[in-house]
Structure 1
Amino acid sequence: MSHDTLISMTRNLIAHGAADTMEYADEVLAIPASTYTDPELFELEKRKIFRRLPLMVAPSCELPQPGDYKAMDICGVPLLLTRQRDGTVGAFLNMCSHRGNPVVTAGTTGNATRFTCGYHGWTFKNDGDLVGVASPRDFGAVDKAALCLKRFPVYESAGLIWATLDPESKLSIADYLCGYDDLLKAFEFNGWTLFAKRTLAGPNWKTAYDGYLDFYHLPVLHKDTFGADFYNRANYFSFGPHQRLSTPSKFAIKVSGEDDQQMDLEKLADDEIPQEVLVQGVWTIFPHISIASFYGGGQRGALVSQLFPGETVGDSYTTQYYVMENQPETPEQVQAAHDQFNFLEIVVRDEDYATGKRQHEALQSGMMDRVLFGKNEGGGQVFHQWAAKLTHASDSELLDIFAAEQREAAE
């Protein structure tokens, strides 16, 4: 069924490209400028979105082997991810059950079967079990089984790992994804390798995320990098709050070795359309992920951008993961992959995020009461509507919202 959906989306793009048309939202949408600048709303978003909804916390290839781990902080919550002995992923509150000290330093990765707290020496297995209390006779009797690391809901699919930073969450991560992860499997990330990653500072998280949902700006803001004749149209496909956007066109470029070959997709049967064409464009996972395909040294790669709110309403940070189908081997391949990754840093840091910071500073003047999203900016419209809806939904309403999405998808 997911392959049929991919073909259907591709045929939609081909038909619109051949007709020189695109799909439009019903009307121009105005949203309050304070959506980006209100510090109280910002704190509410962190609690109701980032600390309540499933988040894509790592590509699977960042934790490929049993014992691999990663520690990170998300909106004030310390998270520890581990690849356990059986190959599954565990997600834990990175706080020792003795006094709350992190058992692993935030921002670190590595491989370990056990973690020992650096404060008093309590030791935990990488499945979260407490296995050692320092000086147990002096400390006193405790039930170690009741003092394991607190678990978060975790889910791995399509070569990506999700976790929910609420151990009591009743929202199924699979239900939240609305079947979108089945489509993401078309990237074939399982077995890919993590080539490089870095973290960039950005503007307000929604200001930053707007750019991933907007092709309208490409030939203007990126005229010196992508070119002034670059496309600025996109059709949008929604799966709950998650969206794919791609250019309506009957043509696609097939990369073969060092040569690029233009294909007329109208002339191809469904089973002749290459896999990389089926996943072209930008795939976003609400509320903070963008995935886009690229080539470095003639090899398939993808930029996975993971966006989180920062300390203040005007700040965010994005970790860029450059994942590749195959690890580059020759010096030329390695350099080409670095060149691609470095080019994308310039585009995002110096163009998208630099513009977003200027935009946010201007909006903070309070001199503009609303901003607009055109009929050709349907992705941004859908994103802001879902952000507002989920921010203000109660926990029970949240379950109802995604139960309704499941029923709609089944019809």
Structure 2
Amino acid sequence: MNAPTKISLPTTGQLALAARLAEGATAPTGDITHVDAATYTDPARHAAEQAKIFTRVPLVIAPSALLPQNNMAVPHDGFGKPLLIARDKDGHAQVFLNVCQHRGTRLVEGSDPVCAARLVCPYHAWSYTLDGKLAGLPRPDAFPGLDKATLGLKKLPTRELGGLIWFAFDADADFTTAEALGADFAAFDMAGQYLFRRRTHAVAANWKLIMDAFLESYHVQRLHSATIGPFFKDGISVADRIGPHQRSAVGREAALAACAADDWPTLRSAITYTYQLFPGTVLIVSPDYMNLMVMMPQSEGRVLVEDFMLIPAAPGSEKALAHWEKSWNLLDGGVFAGEDFRAAALGQEGLASGAIEQVTLGTLETGIRHFHDAVEAML
């Protein structure tokens, strides 16, 4: 899973965004639009989003790098049901309900990876292989006629595409647009990355407020003025859509001329690509690492955000370790938690007060408009 980074070419879509950046900025066009404040604060709206979006469409649950070896499993509770992300002995990723089929006991506790050829229930020691099959049980004579083949773990639809693991609660979920994005992530060799750090943040905000922040560059020079803002040219950004998903690119101040290149080292020095994966995942591709953020709404005013930092290979020295730690602390602890998530929480407080009836979006915030239109279409 963590082989050296492969040499791959950018996709046609990635190059098209780069070419538009290389042509220079154009004045934003369009009209001012609005989003009702209740979209972020209404409990009934939250319930509808859970019922009609999060239980129906494919969701990103983790990067492939979370499970770098075969016979690994990670418990996951963020989406409201006990889940288990597993990689079986043949290397296939699976998502199961983390529930023993004997008496309904949670099979694996905690949230840390487990490495084992079998998962053993802590109650009666029924055991399962990592492909979900019931492998054995104590005193089988006490269960005459039991067909083990019918008592495997409950499997959910799962796809591993370009270094991301997607799943769905709905057996009929359509993974077509997720599959279309796989080539983009393969071009970054996401499947070959090393998971450096992961952390889950509890944010006192509606999940859409956090998605909003990653759908526009208007705030970068303002909110991030003391951190990453100086690296970017104000207003130099382009975007397109792949189904309900959005792909955007922001030009870096020091290297805009390099946007016309067609090789990754040059392009990544000039451009930060961001993918907003519907409904609630963000991938940010920085010059030498990536951050994947998975949003798991808990209520209309609270969301869990799991941040994964992916780097090309495991640190090979103390100097390399210090370099990646600095990047992790800057982004996860500073920019995301200290600025983006804080701004979302402040926004939630203001919207919940009833001070305004609608949020106003300008022409630099059209990505937010497209996102909310996609949410409305699902509802």
TM-score normalized with structure 1 length: 0.83
Alignment of 1:292-307 (within 5 A): 292-294=284-286, 300-307=288-295
- Does structure 1 residue 320 correspond to structure 2 residue 327? no
In structure 2, what is the equivalent of residue 336 of structure 1? 323
Gap change, CA 1:123 and 1:199, over 3 Å in 2: same
Amino acid at match of 1:377: E
Displacement of 1:369 in angstroms is 1.4
Equivalent in 171, 180, 183 of residue 173 of structure 2? 171
C-alpha separation in 2, matches of 1:321 and 1:40: 31
Amino acid at match of 2:328: F
C-alpha separation in 1, matches of 2:41 and 2:312: 40
Q: Quick one: percent identity of the two aligned structures? A: 30
In structure 1, what is the equivalent of residue 5 of structure 2? none
Residue-by-residue CA offset, 1:242-296 (whole Å, 9 max, x unaligned): 111222x5x775xxxxxxxx46237x5646983536873312211122111335x
Gap change, CA 1:177 and 1:279, over 3 Å in 2: farther
In structure 1, what is the equivalent of residue 346 of structure 2? 358
In structure 1, what is the equivalent of residue 6 of structure 2? none
Is the contact between residue 82 and residue 126 of structure 1 (CA under 8 Å) also seen in structure 2? yes
Residue-by-residue CA offset, 1:210-230 (whole Å, 9 max, x unaligned): 111121111111112224684
Moved more, 205-214 or 268-277: 268-277
Is the contact between residue 186 and residue 275 of structure 1 (CA under 8 Å) also seen in structure 2? no
C-alpha separation in 1, matches of 2:263 and 2:230: 34
Equivalent in 147, 150, 153 of residue 154 of structure 2? 150
- Does structure 1 residue 180 correspond to structure 2 residue 188? no
Amino acid at match of 1:119: Y
Amino acid at match of 2:117: T
Is the partner of 1:342 in helix, strand or coil? helix
C-alpha separation in 2, matches of 1:69 and 1:206: 30
Gap change, CA 1:228 and 1:281, over 3 Å in 2: same
Moved more, 332-341 or 182-191: 182-191
C-alpha separation in 1, matches of 2:312 and 2:215: 25
C-alpha separation in 2, matches of 1:46 and 1:75: 10
In structure 1, what is the equivalent of residue 257 of structure 2? 264
Amino acid at match of 1:4: T
C-alpha separation in 2, matches of 1:366 and 1:236: 33
Moved more, 273-282 or 123-132: 273-282
Alignment of 1:221-236 (within 5 A): 221-227=223-229, 230-233=232-235, 234-236=237-239
Is the contact between residue 208 and residue 356 of structure 1 (CA under 8 Å) also seen in structure 2? yes
Equivalent in 33, 38, 43 of residue 29 of structure 1? 33
C-alpha separation in 1, matches of 2:266 and 2:222: 30
Amino acid at match of 1:332: K
Displacement of 1:46 in angstroms is 1.9
Is the contact between residue 280 and residue 294 of structure 2 (CA under 8 Å) also seen in structure 1? yes
Is the partner of 1:58 in helix, strand or coil? strand
In structure 2, what is the equivalent of residue 194 of structure 1? 195
In structure 1, what is the equivalent of residue 12 of structure 2? 4
Gap change, CA 1:291 and 1:156, over 3 Å in 2: same
Alignment of 1:8-407 (within 5 A): 8-15=16-23, 17=24, 20-22=25-27, 24=29, 26-166=30-170, 169-173=171-175, 175-177=176-178, 179-202=180-203, 203-227=205-229, 230-233=232-235, 234-247=237-250, 249=251, 262=255, 264-265=257-258, 270=262, 274=266, 276=268, 280-294=272-286, 300-310=288-298, 312-344=299-331, 345-390=333-378, 392=379
Displacement of 1:75 in angstroms is 2.7
Is the contact between residue 219 and residue 229 of structure 1 (CA under 8 Å) also seen in structure 2? no
Is the contact between residue 57 and residue 162 of structure 1 (CA under 8 Å) also seen in structure 2? yes
Residue-by-residue CA offset, 1:53-86 (whole Å, 9 max, x unaligned): 1111111111111111111013312111111111
| Runs of 5+ consecutive residues of structure 2 not aligned to the other structure | 1-8
Gap change, CA 1:159 and 1:272, over 3 Å in 2: closer
Residue-by-residue CA offset, 1:336-365 (whole Å, 9 max, x unaligned): 100110011211112111121121112112
Gap change, CA 1:196 and 1:228, over 3 Å in 2: closer
Moved more, 318-327 or 139-148: 139-148
Amino acid at match of 1:325: P
Count, aligned residues: 368
C-alpha separation in 2, matches of 1:229 and 1:302: 17
Is the contact between residue 302 and residue 323 of structure 1 (CA under 8 Å) also seen in structure 2? yes
| Runs of 5+ consecutive residues of structure 1 not aligned to the other structure | 254-261, 393-411
C-alpha separation in 2, matches of 1:389 and 1:277: 37
Gap change, CA 1:348 and 1:302, over 3 Å in 2: same
Is the contact between residue 46 and residue 75 of structure 1 (CA under 8 Å) also seen in structure 2? no
Gap change, CA 1:241 and 1:7, over 3 Å in 2: same
Amino acid at match of 2:358: R
Moved more, 270-279 or 3-12: 270-279
Is the partner of 2:217 in helix, strand or coil? coil
Q: What root-mean-square deviation, in Å, do the aligned CA atoms of Structure 1 and Structure 2 show? A: 2.3
Residue-by-residue CA offset, 1:158-180 (whole Å, 9 max, x unaligned): 111111123xx22332x132612
Amino acid at match of 1:347: V
